[in-house]
Amino acid sequence: MMIDVRQVCHPEAVRSFDTEQLRRHFLVERMFEAGKLLLTYSHVERFVIGGAVPITEALVLKSDKATIGSPN
C-alpha cells in the first residue's frame, strides 16, 4: 500500500502557481495499478482517495499511525 500525503498550500502561494505546480499539488494521477492499493491523503479537504486492483492476491488496507496521526 502506498499513501501519497498532500500538504496544504497557502492561498496566496496558490495564486502564483503555474500549471505544473498546480498539477503537482492538486492532481491525483495514479489511482489504479494492477496488484496495488494506491491512496492519496489530502490535508486540503481532509479526505483520502484511491483505488485497489487486486490481481493474484488480496490487498490489505493497513493503518499507519504515523501517517494518519492517530494513536488509535
Domain boundaries, the chain: 2-66
pLDDT at 70 over 70: no
Task: Say what the pTM is.
Answer: 0.69
- The sign of the torsion formed by the CA atoms of 51, 37, 69, 8 equals negative
DSSP annotation of 41 = E
Which residue has better confidence, 4 or 50? 50
Residue 7 phi, psi dihedral angles, 5° rounding? -85, 165
Q: Report pLDDT for 6.
A: 85
Q: What percent of the chain has pLDDT over 70?
A: 88
Q: For residue 25, count other CB atoms closer than 10 A to its CB.
A: 16
